[in-house]
Amino acid sequence: MTNVFIAVGGSGTKVAEALVKLLAVGFPTRNDNGYLTSAGDKLIIMRVDPDQSAGAQEDLTECLNAYQELQADFSDGNKNVLASSRWSMDIDTRVRDLDPTELPNADENQMKTLSGILDSGRAQEKSLALLAPFYEQKDLNVLVDRGFYQKPFIGAAIMSVFARSLEDDSTPAGKKAGLTAFSNTPTNFFLCGSLHGGTGACGVPVMAQFLNRRKNANPGWGWRIGGCLLAPFVKPPMPPFSPLREGDTIDEEMINQLIEVHGTSPVFQAMSTPEEKRELVRQILLGFYADPDDMEARARQGLTFYKDHSSDYFDELYLVGKPSPNQLKIWSNGGKSQRNPLNSADTVAAIAALNFFAQAGTGNPNSYVIGSSNYEVPQENMRLAHVPSYKIGNAVEIEAEKVILATVLTCHLIRHGILWNKIHESAKESLICAYYDKRMGQAAIDKGFYDHSIGKMAEFINGLIAPHQEHFPTGWSSDDLYQIAKFFGDENSAGTQEIKSNLEKKILRNEARGINVLGRSETKFTDRDFGAWCPPGDQFTRGEYFRHVWTQVFAKCQTSLGN
């Protein structure tokens, strides 16, 4: 199945990053003859954002590079553009960056402002004259190359022009999106953006409407459209200085003075040219920034809009947020300086995407489902056990904590459970050793790739659930990561020895001595059981073996009855 994740704005891009990380650490999307896996499916990431130098985009690119390395380790060792292996989903590592302000006829569209775009040849009939009365002059003239500053009424007009340009494969966006390639191909489109922001709030409904029209015009193509809206889950701080009062005007001296006073703040230091700094001062003075006090009201308005106009575009629509948002410490107005850590809400939104890709079919078209729990989920100390579960094919329940436990234990087993220095001697006790025993030299090569991939896996998990800190608000508790660390220990570390001891067999009984635990999930089996796990057939890849062991471990994971 082809899956297309359309990240709209910075929030959507962070969710794309979380999704890639979830896939990297083993979250499955389908049941392939008993194997729970995502391998065999394909993911294409599109990013709709006028801010082409966003920090979130750099984070996503780094994450995709790491995914490419991981997939190379699990396949032929080569880093390919289509990161593919039998471990997890194939991902096209070229993010299709769609800039809504990049329209055809560039000569007419050099001004990246609302007025510039409405007056370009692309906007039908040069619509500025018609639409200008709905906007103030400052709205028409503000540069929108860093997003829409949480003002969806600016972005909506630009997005509409942009969506129209997608219909034509010869336009810059149409060429990059390449939607013609999805004609006649069953595809899951998943749109994600913020409900209260600028780019996300206007981009998600416009893009959904565009896709929905095409879907309805071609019912035989098998398209599905899903979406996730991010309600406020982080709260930005106030800008370094206050905006102008109504009626006040900006003068150059005021701008110079403000740059002098606030020039040392991180947001100004991240800018290279004086003109960028002047533009930022103007934006703040005119109120073009995310006002934390308005977020809730904007989210409420956004929801009302979806209820009245947009929810029908989606086969499934998810809403993720936090009752009390985590407080961000560093203020930014887009661009490279806006580098927020991955939040637990981003991960939950990515789980929603997996639920959609797995065709779980939550609820029915005429109802909605409200996620609930019988305990309070801590906003700044979430644990993996708090992450909503999803289903594969409406049958197998996938819980984040069990997936991670299976992954980290598989990493331990492959590093320490295979007797890499006694392959020949242990060929009778372990099927994978018997496999290597027949292939001279292969074990040493594979061990190198496994060691590298396990290092990458640890990085992915660390990035996914990094503990919450005051200046790094992720919303995650440090408890899970603390427990996970022992699974990645060296041979002689206490953690490794403890896990090995848990995998030991009781004397004269084929029962494990202990249980390996992560949060409320636990698993019990012996290293002899591990020795019997090997994919059938004489030829399999590293990714296939890793997934095979993972599937066996996952099947043995259960929720602890004691807690």
| CB atoms near residue 284 (< 10 Å) | 22
Q: Which is nearer to another protein, 430 or 453 (CB)?
A: 430
Select 168 or 504, whichever has its Cβ closest to another protein. Answer: 504
CA distance 411 to 253: 61
The correct pick among 428, 469, 472, 560 for binding another protein (CB under 8 A) is: 428
Q: How many residues bind another protein (CB under 8 A)?
A: 23
Please state, in angstroms and rounded to a whole number, the distance separating the CA atoms of residues 74 and 540: 11
Q: Is 439 in the site for another protein (CB under 8 A)?
A: no
Q: Is residue 503 near another protein by the rule CB under 8 A?
A: yes
The tokens describing 547, both together, are 């997934």
At closest approach, how far in Å is the CB of 38 from another protein? 30
Contacts with another protein in 326-385 (CB under 8 A)? none
Look at the alpha carbons of 303, 304, 310, 311 in this order and tell me if their dihedral is positive or negative: positive
Spacing of C-alpha 201 from chain mean position = 18
Q: Which two tokens stand for residue 325?
A: 């948002």
C-beta of 409 vs 457, nearer to another protein: 409
CA angle 376, 377, 380 (to 5 degrees): 130
Exposed, middle or buried: residue 401 (CB in 10 Å: 0-12, 13-18, 19+)?
buried
Q: Could you give the angle at the alpha carbon of 97 between the alpha carbons of 96 and 103, nearest 5°?
A: 115
The binding track of 462-501 with respect to another protein, each residue x by CB under 8 A or -, is --------------------------------------x-
Length of the chain: 563
Question: Of 58, 168, 294, 504, which lies in the binding site for another protein, with binding defined by CB under 8 A?
Answer: 504
Q: Does 531 bind another protein (CB under 8 A)?
A: yes
Q: Does 508 bind another protein (CB under 8 A)?
A: yes
Distance from C-alpha of 334 to C-alpha of 288, rounded to nearest angstrom? 11
Does residue 524 interact with another protein by CB under 8 A? no
315 phi, psi to nearest 5 deg: -75, -40
Which residue pairs, CB below 8 angstroms and at least 24 apart, start in 456-460? 456/24, 456/66, 456/69, 456/70, 456/73, 457/24, 457/25, 457/70, 457/407, 457/408, 457/411, 458/411, 458/488, 459/66, 460/21, 460/24, 460/25, 460/66, 460/70
Enter the tokens of residue 119: 């007056």
408 contacts 515 by C-beta, under 8 angstroms: no
Cα 514 to Cα 92: distance, rounded to the nearest angstrom:
42
Helix (H, G, I), strand (E, B) or coil at 53: coil
Q: Nearer Cβ to another protein, position 138 or 505?
A: 505
Count CA within 13 A, CB hemisphere, residue 379: 14
Stretch that binds another protein, among 64-72, 147-155, 214-222, 428-436 (CB under 8 A): 428-436
Q: Which is nearer to another protein, 150 or 426 (CB)?
A: 426
Q: How many angstroms separate the first and last alpha carbons of the chain?
A: 38
Q: Which stretch binds another protein (CB under 8 A): 100-108, 156-164, 454-462, 527-535?
A: 527-535
* 429 touching another protein, by CB under 8 A: yes
Residue 430 touches another protein, criterion: CB under 8 A: yes
CA dist 242 and 135 (Å) reads 22
| Cα gap 212→190, rounded to integer Å | 12
Which of 42, 138, 447, 505 binds another protein (CB under 8 A)? It is: 505
How far apart are CB 352 and another protein at their closest, in Å? 41
By rule CB under 8 A, what string of x and - marks binding of each residue 239-278 to another protein? Answer: ----------------------------------------
Candidates 101, 212, 426, 552; binder of another protein (CB under 8 A) is 426
Which one of 244, 427, 481, 555 is in contact with another protein (CB under 8 A)?
A: 427
Taking the complex as a whole, the smallest distance from the CB of residue 527 to another protein amounts, in Å, to: 4
> Among 527, 533, 544, 550, which residue sits at the site for another protein (rule: CB under 8 A)?
527
Q: Residue 192 in contact with residue 230, Cβ under 8 Å?
A: yes
3-state SS assignment for residue 317: strand
Footprint of another protein on residues 76-135 (CB under 8 A)?
A: none
Smallest separation, CB 550 to another protein (Å)? 19
| Out of 264, 507, 561, 562, the residue judged to bind another protein by CB under 8 A | 507
| Smallest gap from residue 509 Cβ to another protein (A) | 11
Using CB under 8 A, which residues numbered 406 to 425 contact another protein?
417, 419, 422, 424-425
Binding segment toward another protein, per CB under 8 A, in 13-21, 223-231, 429-437, 555-563: 429-437
**Which spans of this chain sit near another protein (rule: CB under 8 A)?**
417, 419, 422, 424-430, 437, 500, 503-508, 513, 527-528, 530-531
